[in-house]
Amino acid sequence: MEKITSVHNEKIKKWTLLHKKKYRDESGLFLVEGEHLIEEALKAGCVRAILFDQTCPFAFEHLIQVTPEIMRKLSANVSDVHLIAVCAQTQKEPLYRRRAVLLDGVQDPGNLGTIIRTAVSFGYDAVICSKTCADLYNEKTIRSTQGAFFHIPLIRTELVDALKELQKDGFVISATALDSSVPLQSIDASEKMAFVFGNEGQGVSEEIQRLSDQRVRIEMDGFESLNVAVAAGIIMYRFQ
């Protein structure tokens, strides 16, 4: 078992940089904190090293004992963290069967993570993110998925291309929109369905709305719009 005692250790300095998207993208690595998330990451086979400063509940080939000072340097949390895993960015190949979610510029990592968690809960095949969405490997995104992050294909791509490919495969695409849209309750379930949810302020872009097969809105009484993660949860549940 390896031991590191200095915050100036080269490995520690490199892993500390993983708090920034630039270095996550360059290295293909990211950090995961806490026993539950590390357990899910181990199931997914993406863990490369586990660091701990007290005890480690995992039997893993690359364990590194560090000091509390190092743990505080690596952690993105305010509260004490005693387990951190260095993980590799891996992408599950999507197998589109019946349901998919497309996200057009969702900016808040908490919203992104909550949508991913909901998609897993309701049996969706994949979450497809535009390149303007929040970073999938942001610590807040991963934490808000509560481990679901590791159990569904997550794709970051040009949304127009993904939408067209799904349509070729027989998917009916429904974009959420307030204007020129049909009520959710009026939509019948199709064998293959995909739903587009948009940016917290601007919603789904006009281009994506135009390319979609239909525009849908959630019927509300007394308020104009919902948080994007709440809206996604309602629609995903309706057509799970």
Token couple for 11: 């490995």
Rounded (10°) CA dihedral 129, 94, 97, 152: -70
By C-alpha distance, which of 55, 106, 105 is closest to 82? 55
Could you give the CA distance from residue 79 to residue 104 in angstroms, rounded to a whole number?
A: 33
Token couple for 178: 């307030």
Q: Residue 223 pLDDT more than 80?
A: no
User: Which residues are within 8 A (CB) of 135 and not within 5 positions of it... i.e. 6 or more apart?
Assistant: 21, 24, 109, 141
- The predicted structure's pLDDT at residue 41: 96
Instruction: Quick: pLDDT tens for 20-57.
Output: 999 999 999 999 999 999 999 999 999 999 999 999 99
Instruction: Quick: pLDDT tens for 152-203.
Output: 999 999 999 999 999 999 999 999 998 899 999 999 999 999 999 999 999 9
DSSP code of residue 186: G
Q: How many CB atoms within 10 Å of residue 160? A: 14
Q: Which domains occur in the chain, in start order?
A: 2-88 (3.30.1330.30), 99-238 (3.40.1280.10)
Could you give the CA distance from residue 180 to residue 219 in angstroms, rounded to a whole number?
A: 13
